[in-house]
Amino acid sequence: MSEVTTPRPIALIILAAGQGSRMMSDLPKPLHKLGGMPLIAHALFAGAALEPARIIVVTGHGADAVERAVDDLMPFATCVRQERQLGTGHAVLQAAGALADFEGDALVLYADTPFVSVDTLAAMQAARAQHDVVVLGFDAADPGRYGRLVLDGDTLSRIVEAKDATPDELAITTCNSGLLVADAQTLMRLLADVTNTNAAGEYYLTDVPALAKAQGLRATAILCPEAETLGINSRAELAAAETAFQAAKRAEMLENGVAMQAPETVIFALDTWVGQDAEVEPHVVFGPGVTVENGARIRAFSHLEGCHVSAGAVIGPYARLRPGAEIGNDARIGNFVEVKEAQIGEGAKVNHLSYIGDATVGEGSNIGAGTVTCNYDGVMKHRTTIGRNAFIGSDTMLVAPVTVGHNAMTASGSVITEDIPDGALAIGRAKQVTKPGLAVKLMDRLRAIKASKKD
């Protein structure tokens, strides 16, 4: 029986300090969005699948903004700053203090390399059991400016940057992705010996394999598809990456049993989850934080973000679910309805032209067309609570805070400012006054005034 090797504790070091000048943007490169989320989220989420003991993010350009984003995405991550961008080796070395007492491996990732798969990271981690340093490489169709991996069998002798390579080394097509895993303390010790005697005058992380070999340590490389190593350095590359991301996400959804008549028109986010036998009609946009359960239907031209749609619910067409929307089993959210920070109960219906915000709608209730929960007083938000099997008449304004009881009703056109008991009917509209003949007289007068202005 073969012995099972338990992976060592692992720490992620994510490099996010570069300026990204080719993006032509004031926004730091790690914060440009791919699949609805910042680039850095892709590296964080992929690395998190390894269940790391620590996550260290090295920031630099736009550090304040990047650190706020990291805190939102993974509050337990630690950010350290590279005040001067002196190369990748120098950047990784900034994590030394945060890992001073860490006994385990360190995996170096890049905020602008979003497609490295969890399987590839796991393969790197597994290879560490037999090697001191593991580098991720790929066979490049056009090696160009990539660093070359100089291999002797499965032993990685060194990595040569393209600008420092000889003609023979430039002929090598196995290239460096930049990702590396090693014992954390060994990595920091090796980095302390890195110099900047190279064409760029920078401290290269790529010097680590050669330094390891010189100290009698074993380095190797594992290979992944070139598509996984795509780095984002320009708006054009970001657009190409978005196309690739959406194609892969649509294929994943179809493979998982989601029905889509025109998948090429549907936009997904990195963390979108849609269940089996759910149906997504054309031109639907999923922002971050959306889960859709089995058998739900998202109709055309709807936009969802930060929400949960339960089994059997129907959304849209032309509906908007904003963050905090919780749609119950078999509920209906119809055309031109917006829901925000609201719970819609099982079987409830909000079918037409309504805004339901900061509210709870009980199961089986029916919300008439043109209903608005008036939740904002200009300073604070207030909540509306609607009970089970209530009927809200069309064009009702529910001025929060207000409660509508179970089986209660409102008359169409009402402005409701007081709580309605269970089973009661509330009428909150002004008395109608009718003036016979006044409409014709008023219109004749207005037309005369208009005609006089033309003379």
- Residue 438 host element (H or E): helix 438-454
Taking a C-beta distance cutoff of 8 angstroms, is the pair 47, 109 a contact? yes
Angle at which helix 39-48 crosses helix 63-73, to 10 degrees, equals 40
Task: Confirm whether 352 is a catalytic residue.
Answer: yes
Taking a C-beta distance cutoff of 8 angstroms, is the pair 403, 421 a contact? no
Q: How far apart are CA 61 and CA 169, in angstroms?
A: 33
- DSSP 8-state code for residue 176: E
Angle at which helix 118-127 crosses helix 39-48, to 10 degrees, equals 50
Q: How far apart are CA 177 and CA 382, in angstroms?
A: 52
Per-residue burial over 246-271, b if 16 or more Cβ lie within 10 Å, else e, is beebbeebeeeebebeebebbbbbbb
Cα distances (angstroms) measured from residue 187 to each of 100, 211, 305: 12, 10, 41
Pairing of strands 105-110, 174-183: antiparallel
Catalytic residue, candidates 61, 352, 382, 406: 352
Pairing of strands 397-399, 33-34: unpaired
Q: How far apart are CA 342 and CA 324, in angstroms?
A: 6
Taking a C-beta distance cutoff of 8 angstroms, is the pair 191, 208 a contact? yes
Catalytic annotation, residues: 352
